[in-house]
Amino acid sequence: MPGRSPELPLHVWILDPANLTPFYSLALGSALVSHGASVRFVTSRFSYDPDLEIPPEIDVQLHYFPGADRWDRFGATSRKIYRALRYPLDHRRLVRLIDRGEWKQPDVVHLQWSRLPMFDRSLVAKLKKKGIKVVHTVHDVEPLYEGAADMSGLGRVYQNCDALIVHTEANRRDLLERYPAIDVRKVHVVPHGPLQADACPADGDRAKARAALGISADARVALNFGSIKPYKGLDLFVSAMPMVVQNVPQAFLLLAGRPARPADAPDMTILQSRGIGHRADLEFISNKDTWKYYMAADVVVLPYLNITQSGVLLSSMAFGKPAIVTAVGGLPEVIRPGQTGWVVPPENVPALAEAISDALSDPDRCDRMGLAARQDVLERFSWQAIGRETVRIYQSV
């Protein structure tokens, strides 16, 4: 296939069949459009948030799992079986749309996740045979979702792609160590960007957010936001709070997010029995309400046991909040200790409690660190810069 002129606009498909990260995909898509690409987001229905806004510049096609909502009433097991059966069929249907000329052939297909590698490997091969370049963002170097134990085929999917994107240098090292057959030249570092911060209303501030959530104005609020899963270490956060209130009596734990399974919900008994201030909204938080939780907080606490990178971390910084993170994955590369947040050892409750106490004991300092964190997002993690670098990678392949 002849080389493509860098001056020609790229036609890009962002492919996320299960719509696992719509906020990321849509933010990336808008950034690519701002750099001259045309973008089609090929995905499935996102059932959690009916208020999700679609940027008008992105062509969204709900290609995968048609009719899936009819299976919802039969429960999670039936839904998973249906999706597993439809997955390869919808891959095949996607290729046929290109073959029949019903959809314009893209220059680049940018995969966001490979959840069924045996079928994704075949799709990648078919796309490349047509001269379509395939780029894959590796959001999780070590797959963290339920049922990811046997993911031996992932390495072959990655090897067949033209380029791979990870979010930090630590992620790059981990990926190459886990999959040594991957050509090091194909792996590019592009930062993760903030999510949902643009949904904050112009007059959204701490006072309005706390009033909406029923949190006292003089509380010292530590927030954890996002889907609740075992590797996120929320039990450590809860266990640290009795130590924190010894130093900061006004300390308040704010938890917002939907447990992946009922058993993943943290046990709040210790907080209730000791009268420690807390609020746990164990449900999916819609995009229009996200700002209330971030803006109500003094600090965001992310005590991960294992992670590659965290969109919540970048979002907290965009909302002007410092963060406490554990030294896992790429998190330490984002935080500047003492300036934009704290980095503590994983699975260390006393160290976590000390960092939370340090943050909540000096709200003015917390605010200054939050402003520095927001400036870091503008300078180091902006979507404009991410879009520019991603287009450069497309052009390089």
Task: Say which residue the tokens 């520095």 belong to.
Answer: 372
Q: Do 306 and 206 fall into the same domain?
A: yes
Q: In what order do the strands lie in the sheet with 38-43?
A: 59-62, 38-43, 11-15, 108-111, 133-137, 163-166, 187-189
Structure tokens at 321: 């909040």
Q: Do 53 and 121 fall into the same domain?
A: yes
Q: Do 212 and 90 fall into the same domain?
A: no
| pLDDT (tens digit per residue) in 53-99 | 889 999 999 999 997 777 666 666 777 788 888 999 999 999 999 99
Q: In this structure, are residues 165 and 188 in contact, taking their beta carbons and an 8 Å threshold? A: yes
Q: Answer whether residue 6 is part of any domain.
A: no
Q: Answer whether residue 223 is part of any domain.
A: yes
Stated pTM of the model: 0.92
Q: Answer whether residue 3 is part of any domain.
A: no
Q: What is the 3-state secondary structure (H, E, C) of the chain?
A: CCCCCCCCCCEEEEECCCCCCHHHHHHHHHHHHHCCCEEEEEECCCCCCCCCCCCCCCEEEECCCCCHHHHHHHCHHHHHHHHHHHHHHHHHHHHHHHHCCCCCCCCEEEECCCCCHHHHHHHHHHHHHCCCEEEEECCCCCCCCCCCCCCCCHHHHHHHCCEEEECCHHHHHHHHHHCCCCCHHHEEECCCCCCCHHHCCCCCCHHHHHHHHCCCCCCEEEEEECCECHHHCHHHHHHHHHHHHHHCCCEEEEEECCECCHHHCCCCHHHHHCCCEEEEECCCCCCCCHHHHHHHCCEEEECCCCCCCCHHHHHHHHCCCCEEEECCCCHHHHCCECCCEEEECCCCHHHHHHHHHHHHCCHHHHHHHHHHHHHHHHHHCCHHHHHHHHHHHHHHC
Rg of the chain over all Cα atoms, to the nearest angstrom: 22
Q: Do 170 and 250 fall into the same domain?
A: no
| pLDDT (tens digit per residue) in 280-301 | 999 999 989 999 999 999 999 9
Question: Which residue stretches of the chain have pLDDT < 50?
Answer: 1-5, 149
Q: Answer whether residue 312 is part of any domain.
A: yes
Q: In this structure, are residues 331 and 325 in contact, taking their beta carbons and an 8 Å threshold? A: yes
Q: Do 209 and 339 fall into the same domain?
A: yes
Q: Do 159 and 206 fall into the same domain?
A: no
Q: Which pLDDT score, from 0 to 100, does residue 75 have?
A: 63
Q: Do 108 and 148 fall into the same domain?
A: yes
Q: Do 138 and 164 fall into the same domain?
A: yes
What CATH number is given to the structural domain containing 94? 3.40.50.2000
Task: Say which residue the tokens 């807390």 belong to.
Answer: 278
Q: Do 181 and 219 fall into the same domain?
A: no
Q: Which domain holds residue 216?
A: 197-380
Q: Which pLDDT score, from 0 to 100, does residue 146 have?
A: 56
Count of C-beta atoms within a 10 Å radius of residue 181 = 9
Q: Which pLDDT score, from 0 to 100, does residue 105 have?
A: 97
d(CA 321, CA 290): 14
Q: Answer whether residue 345 is part of any domain.
A: yes
Q: Do 183 and 202 fall into the same domain?
A: no
Q: Do 90 and 219 fall into the same domain?
A: no
The total number of structural domains in the chain stands at 2
Q: Answer whether residue 96 is part of any domain.
A: yes
Q: Answer whether residue 212 is part of any domain.
A: yes
Q: Do 172 and 228 fall into the same domain?
A: no
